[in-house]
Amino acid sequence: MTPKVLISDKMDPKAAAIFRERGIQVDEITGKTPDELAAIIGDYDGLAIRSSTKVTAKLLEHARNLKVVGRAGIGVDNVDIPAATARGVVVMNTPFGNSITTAEHAIALMFALARQLPEADASTQAGKWEKNRFMGVELTAKTLGLIGAGNIGSIVASRALGLRMKVIAFDPFLTPERALELGIEKVDLDDLLRRADFITLHTPLTDQTRNILSRENLARTKKGVRIINCARGGLIDEAALKDALDSGQVAGAALDVFETEPATASPLFGTPGFISTPHLGASTSEAQVNVAIQVAEQMSDFLLLGGVTNAINMPSLSAEEAPRLKPYMALAEKLGKLLGQVLGEEVRSVAVEVEGAAAELNQKPITGAVLAGLMGTYSQTVNMVNAPFLAKERGLDVREIRHEREGDYHTLVRVTAGTPDGERCVAGTLFGNKAPRLVDIFGVGVEADLAGSMLYIVNNDAPGFIGALGSTLGNAGINIATFNLGRRAAGGEAVALVAVDGTVPPEVVEQLSHLEGVRQVVPLKF
């Protein structure tokens, strides 16, 4: 079936062109109210947005077919990420399409603050010639403090270093190695506030970063600091910034973003030393084209090939990786389903191990597939997006282990479930690099294809069992498709994995459980 995408915000025409070129049906319907959008969203597999459309939990309730939301831009404040994740919807952004544009805007505002350009322009065009009034400062040799040194922050750092500034950065995710590579100094927030002549913010708005420049933190800044925010409104206490400008603690501030937008009124408006722009960070023709192209390509890769790029709520999986990983993910999901159906509520933790050829691959999607199979035992709407979320909700501890060695199989995926009675392990491989095959179940070697309706049976290894099993199924009119056996030792515990045509009724499962020597019977579905 041809995927269908809705573009609900104004976007460069190249986005729709890319969708159509790749065989995806696309509708451009913009300017709809939330209720109007809710009335039509159920028909679409993908939703491409900018900042106007609000993807709320209420809207997602109507999006019965939605698989992906693509944001043409960086910020996803207008998307309810937890609600999308819970419903299994991938949320993507385009963090690189407008990075240079936003970084350049921050540098432009830094220059404007340093040389009081807007005020000087207004004064000159009013017929005045106030050379002595507008005494600026140089950027050379000044210290720039970055709050956030990710994609955009690192570009600002490189431009600032080119201006012969000293750059320091506060970013919990910045490694010493990355700081060295960028040529900047990693510091804590107090040190940055104390030392910086200019502060620029380049961080998302989260519970941890909201009001990071609070009244208290503004009071700790170097007197005469100049502050630039092209990231997100809400990172600065705007009322406190107004007071700091009035007192001279802050010499100047330039905001491209505000806590409430559109910012038609603000206590900062009209304050000497304050510059504002209407969220122009990404507003260049190049950036608008770039993010439109990027979001269309990312969404197309996902809907057609399974590639996941720049997703907020699941691991990345490139379109190039997807075909190679697809059989591994099918194997991993089946192993997870097997554990979930046999162990049920007993599972407390999950360890996913890869070895041989599997160890050379991106393990995150394999782990996601295991969890999707496992959590499918508890939810009918589970997929790789919401499976980790559901696992976390249930308090499952999830670990990943990679072994470079190659064992008995050239490639192997092993999944170990922790239970109150100890660890239970299943393992599988790929035959011909594409056919998933179980090779070990709870320490018993059994080679089986996990497909369709099956029975997992644990019994005492004794003569006559196979005949009794076959007779019981035959008397119930159930045909055996495949029969796979394994045992720990002669006369000890044996395992049978029996594929059957159709579904085994509960009363037949009950009959099987009462056969002599049978310890456990579990019907399986794959």
Active site residues: 232, 261, 279
b/e burial code for range 80-95 (CB count within 10 A of at least 16 → b) = beebbbbbbbbbbbbb
Beta strand pairing call for 349-356 and 411-419? antiparallel
Angle between helices 13-21 and 285-305 (to 10 degrees): 20
b/e burial code for range 130-151 (CB count within 10 A of at least 16 → b) = eeeeeeebebeebbbbbbbbbe
Q: Which DSSP symbol is given to 118?
A: H
Cα 120 to Cα 133: distance, rounded to the nearest angstrom = 9
Positive or negative torsion for Cα 322, 326, 328, 333:
positive
CA 413-418-424 angle, to 5 degrees, is: 60
> How many Å separate Cα 63 from the centre of its chain?
19
* Collapsed DSSP state (helix, strand, coil) of residue 98: coil
Q: Which DSSP symbol is given to 504?
A: P
> 117, 111, 116: which is closest to 142 by C-alpha?
111
* Sequence letter at residue 59: L
User: Would you state the structure tokens that stand for residue 187, as one six-digit string?
Assistant: 């510091």
For residue 430, give the H/E element and its range. Answer: strand 422-431
Contact 6, 24 (CB under 8 A): no
**Omega before residue 82 within 30° of 0, cis:** no
Q: Please give the order of strands across the beta sheet that includes 68-71.
A: 25-28, 4-7, 46-49, 68-71, 90-92
Cα 145 to Cα 377: distance, rounded to the nearest angstrom = 50
Contact 6, 44 (CB under 8 A): yes
